[in-house]
């Protein structure tokens, strides 16, 4: 059977038997988000593109590009979120993390999934840092933990000050 160019049946990640490549192994958070959503819903790149008003090539590129140089434009992020039927903050955060940036969204901080993604990013990134950079990160974490302890002590009235 010959597939037609307009046919989306082979446009589903992992839909080609024996095909190895980016569809089976997403290397960055944006790729993972797109691939997981496509698998969950059984959608194709073309379907997501239609739903979000994006070119199919844009969805495909974002789903298969391992090393994003910069996050997509805000309009692209909004359209991708619409196409994937996920919150814009999820796409924005995944896109930022995929480029090595960190994105914090107070509105999304209550979602367990975003917390898990941040934790996973921190753990996965530790081996990529130099020894000096790990020392800087450790000092930052220690500083944040000390501040949290001070804030907790001040809130409970046990910080020793009057």
What does the H/E/C string look like for the chain? CCCCCCCCCCCCCCCCCCCCCCCCCCCCHHHHHHHHHHHHHCCCHHHHHHHHCCCHHHHHHHHHCCCCCCCCCHHHHHHHHHHHCCCHHHHHHHHHHHCCCCCCCHHHCCCHHHHHHHHHHHHHHHHHCCHHHHHHHHHHHHHHHHHHHHHHHHHHCCCCCC
Verify that 114 and 152 share a domain, yes or no. no
Question: Is 63 within a domain?
Answer: yes
Verify that 60 and 89 share a domain, yes or no. yes
> Would you state the pLDDT for residue 110?
44
Q: Kindly report, residue by residue over 87-103, the tens digit of the pLDDT.
A: 988 898 888 888 876 55
Verify that 133 and 104 share a domain, yes or no. no
Question: Is 23 within a domain?
Answer: no
16 φ/ψ sector (left φ>0, alpha ψ -120 to 50, else beta): beta
Q: How confident is the model at residue 111 (pLDDT cuts 50, 70, 90)?
A: very low
Which range of residues forms the domain containing residue 45? 29-121
Q: Which two tokens stand for residue 63?
A: 């789903």
> Would you state the pLDDT for residue 56?
97
Total of domains in the chain: 2
The reported pTM is 0.53
- 50: domain CATH number? 1.10.260.40
């Amino acid at each position: 059977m010959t597939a037609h160019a307009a046919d989306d049946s082979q446009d589903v990640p992992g839909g080609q038997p024996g095909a190895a490549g980016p569809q089976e192994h997403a290397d960055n958070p944006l790729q993972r988000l797109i691939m997981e959503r496509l698998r969950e819903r059984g959608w194709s790149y073309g379907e997501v593109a239609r739903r979000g008003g994006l070119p199919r090539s844009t969805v495909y590129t974002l789903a298969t590009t391992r090393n994003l140089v910069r996050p997509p434009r805000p309009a692209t992020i909004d359209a991708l979120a619409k196409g994937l039927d996920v919150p814009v903050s999820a796409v924005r955060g995944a896109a930022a993390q995929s480029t090595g940036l960190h994105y914090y969204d107070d509105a999304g901080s209550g979602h367990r999934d975003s917390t898990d993604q941040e934790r996973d990013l921190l753990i996965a990134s530790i081996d990529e840092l130099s020894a000096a950079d790990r020392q800087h990160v450790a000092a930052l974490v220690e500083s944040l933990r000390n501040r949290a302890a001070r804030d907790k002590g001040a809130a409970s009235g046990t910080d020793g000050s009057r």
